[in-house]
Structure 1
Amino acid sequence: MTRMPVPPFSYDDAVKKVRMAEDAWNSRDPEKVALAYSADTKWRNRSEFLNGRDEVRDFLTRKWTVENGYRLIKEIWAHSDTRIAVRFCYEYHDAKSNWFRAYGNENWEFDAAGYMAVRHASINDVAIAEAERLFHWPQGPRPKVHKGLSELGL
């Protein structure tokens, strides 16, 4: 089975992959999100190393249990035939209603069928006041009219 678009990526293909990933992650559905990765995907997420789709699904389940109100925006940084570099921010609150904005960069590598085979993520969390939040859409995909990272000055 293929997951379009597939390599080699044009700029438009890469932008589409980024938005597809953003929309999927904003669904907060670990099963759905894990399906975008190859069965033997390799991840580094902060200091955690994951191997395979099952570990990705379990990681995302844990993540979204503690990151409440999660809203994410991704933006393409660069691409090649099989790789895409992305910068992103997401906002969330913990169980005590403390708000955070996470800033990060991801490097992705795709297999020939269009599944992400490798993901390296570096992420930093910054505490923010609730009044500083910038991501205010209903849970789910970011509306097409909502500003992106560059437009928000992030």
Structure 2
Amino acid sequence: MLSKRTIIGLIVGSIIIGIGIVSLVQHIGTITVNESYVVAVGDSTLYVIPAPIDTQQSMKITGDSFDVKLESPADGLHLPETSYKDEKVLEWVHLDDGESKIHVQNTGSKELVITGTLIRSSDPIWFTYDLMVIISGVVIIGFSMGFTLRKPKGF
């Protein structure tokens, strides 16, 4: 017969393993990021977007005046540093696996608003995090199973 602590350990460990597996499935493939960012007067921002081949990217920059430089992998969209006023809509497709780099500098007298939908590759570090969560659940189950064999002193 299983003790109360063993049953609790099995339930908690199973829940933790389940969370790890669900998270692992969610981190497979691409991630869609809906960006909404404000750049203060005189500040700049840099976006580095790692994405697989054939992913559609779009970004809208609205402000008084600003400079934009964009580099996309392979023969994608490439913009040298260019000044714009009011609004600029950028839409491009990754023609190869790689990173798009977008540098935006606010040169106007008002805040700059950047909105967009960016599709990026999942970061490989998430696989490690999810694996650690699953392993933690297995360890909890292992320790709780020890309570069925014998009760250690103090418990």
- Above 0.5 in TM-score? no
Q: What interval of TM-score do these two structures reach, taking the shorter chain for normalisation?
A: under 0.3
Highest relative contact order (Cα 8 Å, sep 6+), 1 or 2?
2
Q: Higher helix proportion, which one?
A: 2
Scaled by the length of structure 2, the TM-score of the pair is 0.27
Name the structure where strand makes up a greater proportion of residues: 2
TM-score by length of 1: 0.27
Computing the radius of gyration from Cα coordinates, the structure with the larger value is 2
